[in-house]
Structure 1
């Protein structure tokens, strides 16, 4: 009977099916990579994530008539939702934060910060939730640009020439009350200490009131090119050699390779100098030689070119010279 039972075809088919099922279960338990990876992918798509991003705060208002002050440039938006949606929103930032002032009148208001463009599958919070703003009448005017620089930074003996700025005039726009307080538009040149050459920079412009406080207005253009020419007067003068400490038993012949020098310094001081006396010390000079003698600068002179004089000294005994 047993032999007849196992020889039946359907019995072999059932046994083969059971063996196949056992093999699949075994493979699933020992090599879970494929199914686990699929499960992780689903988990990543549905997992909740929270991220905070700062975005510009836009203002909806008639900018031709009104000027708004008091609101922050950016607000913080915290997003919560699936990994994919949060990451996409943060990376693309295809949503915006804004305050709607289209139906507000002139004056101070507290308004709600609104968000648009976000997927309805994301939840969010914004900080701050409300902002205090002031709507004022808009005013534009054209004003000249003034140059300011730290005069004490200029090196001794150097003078500042005629400064220039480009552009010379700018357009200023802002709240009527702010624009009316402007005393001057200033281009501040921050000269480095002991500067001895021309200064040229592109600097940020500032609108200042009478007390020197900066005002909240828009300046167009916002920068200007400042040029501060710095130079020093110069003059060529003849050299007079003045021998010192000569020995009585010797005869000296002292000549300079060059008989003139260029002096740099205060223009008024230089005008009073026609010749420059250079002292040549002959102490312990017993034979003919060449000597470099430094130039002692007169009052008001900051440097000379050259800085010293090459002197040729010839020495003879007084007895031989006779």
Structure 2
């Protein structure tokens, strides 16, 4: 029996029986393939990821590289779970290796790294034509561009002031060599009347005014422009408004500035010759100095003088009436003619006077000379205006019905 068990034939037959048993055991309890995502067509996933950035590896200090797309689309295919993970984490990278390039144009492969080896991928572009150039930096003066047609009518502007006046331009040598104009354009609304203070972007152009792809540092400059409006010198005058209190006479009104420079459009300024400053005297009862704002006419945007000092001098006056002042006839040839005042019949008039109380309180009729001039009159009745000589600084007024009189001129009789 021991010999039988140890024989090679016995061992071979036993191994065959065990193998046969295992075969039938497996086929009688099959494994569910749907639980294994790697063994069924339905577990494969395809996805397209758009606009993935393309990294370029090169000597950024000394070289400029162009011609490489900024982004690419990538289509990935593989086990569903791995594709979903790659799409959500974006752990992979699309890149171009130019760590050891040659100067000039060259075809280079676009590669992908950090993507599972169980995933197949396709890029929208497998290669790129890279242009490698020497990187240079130069300094350029900046010009300010300002469209003066944006100024309001009649306005002008000083040359723009820039800060800084120079910029540093870095780029491919072929681009920097083409730089012809470096400018910053002032952007503003139309009808400009005020000074401009703004920040403007600097751009570089070639001789045909094509915009160049270069790096500019600083990328903006500060620009200030003084805007000047047309000006004109006009006279200033003061004018009393309102009535002074009773017994007060405005003797003089003077302002400390007789002229001012005003600013505005030429069409506005051409018709302005004087600016009147109104002075309200309704409450002035003593000598006064006041400051009054200068009101500008419509369309005038500014003035060299905003306010004026106004000096007002007054007199306090009384009024009274001098009665029965005789009317004198002057210029009559007494040898040939005689004259008689017909109206007023008494040949006298009343006179209303006004002045400082101290100067008028002692005045009497003899201090006034009221007369008519008949030298040029012929024989007959005449209506003649009265004339008055009165003391200085005394204001007088004849009654309305006595401003003229009626006089009769007649020849003297020969027996007179």
Q: Fold conserved (TM > 0.5)?
A: yes
The 2-side partners of 1:167 and 1:121 are apart by 57
Residue 120 (1) aligns with residue 102 (2): no
| Residues 200/277 of structure 1: CA separation in 2 closer, same or farther (3 Å cut) | closer
**Greater per-residue helix proportion:** 1
- Contact 2:62 2:135 (8 Å CA) reproduced: yes
Flag the 1:304–1:80 CA change in 2: closer, same or farther, 3 A.
same
Moved over 6 A (4+): 258-262
What residue number does 1:103 align with?
Answer: 100
Q: What residue in structure 1 maps to residue 274 of structure 2? A: 276
| Partner residue of 1:185 out of 171, 177, 182 | 182
Distance verdict in 2 for CA 1:123–1:153, change over 3 Å: farther
Count of residues in correspondence between the two structures: 231
Partner of residue 156, structure 1:
153
Deviations 1:74-109 (A, max 9, x none): 222233456654455445433322212223311111
Query: 1:235 and 1:58, CA in 2 relative to 1: closer, same or farther beyond 3 A?
Result: same
CA separation in 2, counterparts of 1:219 and 1:155? 33
Q: CA deviation at 1:208?
A: 0.9
Aligned-pair CA distance for 1:169:
2.1
Partners of 1:184 and 1:208 within 8 A in 2:
yes
Q: Which runs of 5+ in 2 are unaligned?
A: 1-34, 239-254, 277-295, 304-399, 404-416
Cα distance in 1 between the residues matched to 2:93 and 2:219 = 26
Of 215, 227, 232, which aligns to 1:230?
Answer: 227
Offset of residue 56 of structure 1: 2.5
User: Which structure carries more relative contact order (alpha carbon 8 Å, separation 6+)?
Assistant: 1
CA contact (8 A) 2:236 2:259 kept: yes
SS of residue in 2 equivalent to 1:67: strand
How do residues 35-74 of structure 1 correspond to structure 2 at under 5 angstroms? 46=43, 48-74=45-71
Cα distance between partner residues in 2 of 1:179 and 1:76: 32
- Note closer, same or farther for the CA distance 1:163–1:93 as it changes in structure 2 (3 Å cut): farther
Please give the per-residue CA displacement for 1:131-189, whole angstroms capped at 9, x wherever unaligned: 22211222111222221122211222222234233332222112222111111321122
1:129 aligned residue: 126
> In terms of Rg, which structure is larger?
2
Q: Quick one: which of 192, 195, 199 aligns to 1:195? A: 192
Structure 1 residue 226 displacement after superposition:
3.0
Q: TM-score, normalised by structure 1?
A: 0.58
State the Cα RMSD in Å. 4.1
Query: Structure 1: which 5+ runs fail to align?
Result: 1-37, 242-257, 279-293, 297-301, 307-318
Aligned to 2:204: 207
Change (3 A) 1:80 1:52: same
